[in-house]
């Protein structure tokens, strides 16, 4: 099954039955001679028919864990793109093909983990895309996406689960907004909504995002960012320089204009937002993928995972931190400092055992039964143990859009693991 096919495996109605017999009454056997010398047909005892077992179907909304559908444990490969220029030899290299086979068989490095996470993302987001409508609250949308993710990935501690909180940033807010408890914000018909969520399997995180609008004013903004993300994906590869990837993204995105009433605005890259490498259990690795030409000579390398993530704006093209914080993550190399607050010590234990280095939000702490934790959480932030991520906003009145794909730089070719029919 290709990556763009639905996760529904159903035996066709006209498929042959196991041990199928004739439907026309008793079957005829060999000729036998009766006592009077006449030949008659011997009746053959009819065996009961066994019906073929139908495959497991996905529900709507999706709730069936993917292991019940992909029973062989093999998940769809993403879109593959061959390397270009000095790396075209990789496609047919026996050495590189052998290395890929070894990776598939290795429990830690197998591509099946990221592919399983990607298939969860595709199924959940495609349901969300046809379901999200003006009038829904941000909390309803977040719960819908996260409930689907937990069910399909068969959430199991650090084995599989949510990769990071569902981002539902609106309008001039470009990133890092998800509703906290009590948030009553309702989606409006004129809103531009960024939907950014992650899925992980054994720490391999799929990070993919798209933008929705419900009237045509900002269609060109969405189209520019989607095209720029695809340009970034095409430009990425083994030995590609990060600054050159940024240049390709910028050239495509900033070639678009948006007409708003009598005003025409050129789409701008949000220059201080970037894509990034992805490490096991760490959504932000050590490499940043710019979306403007910043001259960074750092190269992408074989075996790396990247989030190619672009943001466009009708505003100033830069974001600042502003608003109530919802996103947090424990810092991987955080210092060991004495904590005077008992609540902070208890909360840190919950964060470590429940999330490790994966990002989380306040709703997730509520779900675990934590209460009155804000003082302790702020103390962990002030001590440099937990990082907070405030909403990132352009100037009020502007609109922002985002598209993002996760890619894997395999030895023989590039795999866009999160690609789907939708984007």
Residues labelled as active-site residues: 196, 207, 276, 284, 309, 404
Q: Which helix (H) or strand (E) holds 31?
A: strand 27-33
DSSP string, 172-199: TEEE---PPTT---B--TT-EEEEEEEE
| Residue partners of 335: CB distance under 8 A and separation at least 6 | 383, 384, 385
Q: Is 204 helix (H, G, I), strand (E, B) or coil?
A: strand
**Spatial CB neighbours of 163, under 8 Å, sequence gap ≥ 6:** 117, 197, 198, 199, 200, 205, 206, 207, 283, 358, 359
**Which residues, including other chains, have CB under 8 Å from residue 142's CB and lie 6 or more apart?**
165, 166, 168, 178, 179, 363
Compute the 3-state secondary structure of the chain and give helix, strand, coil in percent, each to the nearest 5. Answer: 30, 25, 45
Task: Report CA torsion sign: 419, 269, 291, 232.
Answer: positive
């Amino acid at each position: 099954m290709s990556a763009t096919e639905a996760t529904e495996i159903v035996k066709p109605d006209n498929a042959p039955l196991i041990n199928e017999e004739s439907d026309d009454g008793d079957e005829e056997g060999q000729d036998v001679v009766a006592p009077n010398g006449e030949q008659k047909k011997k009746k053959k005892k009819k065996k009961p028919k066994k019906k073929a077992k139908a495959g497991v179907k996905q529900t709507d909304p999706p709730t069936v864990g993917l292991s019940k559908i992909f029973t062989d444990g093999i998940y769809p490969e993403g879109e593959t793109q061959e390397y270009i220029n000095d790396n075209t030899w990789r496609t047919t290299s026996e050495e590189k093909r052998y290395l890929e086979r070894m990776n598939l068989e290795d429990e830690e490095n197998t591509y099946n983990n990221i592919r399983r996470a990607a298939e969860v993302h595709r199924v959940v987001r495609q349901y969300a895309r046809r379901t999200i409508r003006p009038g829904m609250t941000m909390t309803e949308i977040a719960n819908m996406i996260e409930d689907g993710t937990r069910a399909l990935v068969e959430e199991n501690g650090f084995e599989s689960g949510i990769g990071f909180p569902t981002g539902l940033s609106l309008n001039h807010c470009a990133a890092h907004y998800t509703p906290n408890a009590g948030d009553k914000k309702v989606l409006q018909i004129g809103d531009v909504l960024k939907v950014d969520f992650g899925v992980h399997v054994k720490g391999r995180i799929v990070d993919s995002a798209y933008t929705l609008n419900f009237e045509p004013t900002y269609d060109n903004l969405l189209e520019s960012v989607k095209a720029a993300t695809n340009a970034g994906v095409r430009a990425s590869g083994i030995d590609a320089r990060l600054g050159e990837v940024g240049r390709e993204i910028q050239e495509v995105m900033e070639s678009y204009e948006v007409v708003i009433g009598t005003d025409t605005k050129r789409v701008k890259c949000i220059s201080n937002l970037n894509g990034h490498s992805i490490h096991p259990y760490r959504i932000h690795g050590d490499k940043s993928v710019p979306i403007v030409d910043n001259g960074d000579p750092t190269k992408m390398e074989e075996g790396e995972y990247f989030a190619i993530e672009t943001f466009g704006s009708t505003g100033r093209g830069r974001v600042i931190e502003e608003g109530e914080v919802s996103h947090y993550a424990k810092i991987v190399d955080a210092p060991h400092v004495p904590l005077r607050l008992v609540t902070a010590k208890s909360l840190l234990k919950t964060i470590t055992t429940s999330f490790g280095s994966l990002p989380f939000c306040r709703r997730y702490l509520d779900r675990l039964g934590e209460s009155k934790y804000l003082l302790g959480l702020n103390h962990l932030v002030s001590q440099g143990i937990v990082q907070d991520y405030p909403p990132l906003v352009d100037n009020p009145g502007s609109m922002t859009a985002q598209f993002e794909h996760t890619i894997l730089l395999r030895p023989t070719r590039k795999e866009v693991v999160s690609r789907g029919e939708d984007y």
